[in-house]
Structure 1
Amino acid sequence: MAKVKEILSNPSPDDWSLLASRAMRVLLARRGMSFAEAASAMTTKALPVSTRSIDGRVQRGSFECSFFLQAIYATGADYPCQWVPFLSKVGKAKSQATWSTCATALMAAEQQSWANFTYEGFSQRLESIGVHLAPEVIKYQVTQGNYPMTLLLQYAAVSWVDGLELFLDRADILRAGRAAILNAAGPQVSP
């Protein structure tokens, strides 16, 4: 916990990765599962992954949102109610849903709460928290369903995602946004 407080009070570009890592750890902790048990659960659900792979991804905080959704599905964890329509389709017989389409649908559902959503507006809001992503890059990643979990967390910092508090405290997401702003501003020099 002291490490988390230190990181959030001393901003770095890895704050978003730290939060992604924590979200996955919370998901597993709520289910009482180790990385090995999560790997076994995912493999049982035809999502083959090794313990080492999960451990590495979580340690780095570098995984796609679709991987997070796979972990939710495989472990039977609770998730935000607005995600039910598309998470409930994945893994069903005769369903054309893939994990990529599920991740795309998740972001599309979240975007509905943002009046007149545009990728340009999203990019501008991300700029306000020190995250520099071109609208075309965001749109491509979201429509392909291969965007990183950190993008969902950054979205939550500029336009809240209801239910995300199942995995992370809202205050920590907002703190990471403020830390990113400070980091983007560079060192402050006192006169």
Structure 2
Amino acid sequence: MRLHCETIVAHIDTPWTRLASLTARGLLARKGCTYDELSRTLGSIGIEESPKSVELRIQRGAFRCSFFLQLVCALHADLPTALQRILDNKTTWEDACREIALAHLPEGAFSPRLSKRLEQAGIHISPTQLESRVNSGTFSFALLLQLSHVYPIPGLERFVDCSDVAKAASEADVAHP
């Protein structure tokens, strides 16, 4: 008899996960795509996800940056030239995520100074944790949105308004003083 053990992580609703959800749902709406269609489209680029899995991830805003890039590619969304170049040259989705984040962070960004700036927006992460997550390329899309609040990412405004990023930061700061 084999036992299957799953780690269940409770979803935490935050202004950042709500913004991640809104961003992905906005992309789906603009492309006129349902969750069933998205599941099939993701399959065409080698990403196997059930429609229900896709829907739950998007509704909760609980997905990695790599998943958002997969959405963008699967839906053939128009991309800024720099982002398109990164995706064209990627070896893995995680590599693309890492390159996007690192391209917009200044040298020496993994410092207490950046952590302090993020903390002012209600984001509590140590420089070591941030560096580890970014370098692994396995960070959440919400973290990319958070970083874009401190260091704007050119072209991201095609998917999410800068004012919505600022609003999420303000709401997160109020929620976690």
Give the TM-score band, short-chain normalised: 0.7 to 0.9
2:94 corresponds to: 100
1:175 corresponds to: 167
Correspondent of 1:119 among 110, 116, 126? 110
Instruction: Report how far residue 117 of structure 1 moved.
Output: 3.9
User: For residues 97 and 61 of structure 2, what CA distance do their matches in structure 1 show?
Assistant: 17
Q: How many residues are aligned here?
A: 165
User: For residues 156 and 118 of structure 1, what CA distance do their matches in structure 2 show?
Assistant: 13
Structure 1's 103 and 123: CA in aligned 2 closer, same or farther, altered over 3 A?
same
Aligned residues with identical type, % of pairs: 33
Q: Deviations over 1:41-95 (max 9, x none)?
A: 11011111111111010111000000100111111112233212221134xxxxx
Query: 1:13, 1:183 within 8 Å by CA — same for their partners in 2?
Result: no
User: For residues 40 and 118 of structure 1, what CA distance do their matches in structure 2 show?
Assistant: 39
Alignment of 1:99-178 (within 5 A): 99-111=93-105, 114=106, 116-120=107-111, 121-178=113-170
User: For residues 123 and 164 of structure 2, what CA distance do their matches in structure 1 show?
Assistant: 16
**Amino acid in the other structure paired with 1:141:** R
User: For residues 175 and 23 of structure 2, what CA distance do their matches in structure 1 show?
Assistant: 22
2:176 corresponds to: 184
Instruction: Report how far residue 13 of structure 1 moved.
Output: 5.8
Q: Which runs of 4+ in 1 moved over 6 A?
A: none
**Amino acid in the other structure paired with 2:169:** G
User: For residues 89 and 41 of structure 1, what CA distance do their matches in structure 2 show?
Assistant: 21
User: For residues 89 and 143 of structure 1, what CA distance do their matches in structure 2 show?
Assistant: 17
Instruction: Report how far residue 169 of structure 1 moved.
Output: 1.3
Instruction: Report how far residue 39 of structure 1 moved.
Output: 0.9
User: For residues 103 and 51 of structure 1, what CA distance do their matches in structure 2 show?
Assistant: 24
State the SS of the aligned residue for 1:133. coil
User: For residues 173 and 166 of structure 1, what CA distance do their matches in structure 2 show?
Assistant: 13
**Amino acid in the other structure paired with 2:29:** A
Instruction: Report how far residue 18 of structure 1 moved.
Output: 0.4
Normalised TM-score (structure 2): 0.87
Structure 2 residues without counterparts, runs of 5 or longer: 1-11
Alignment of 1:66-85 (within 5 A): 66-85=66-85
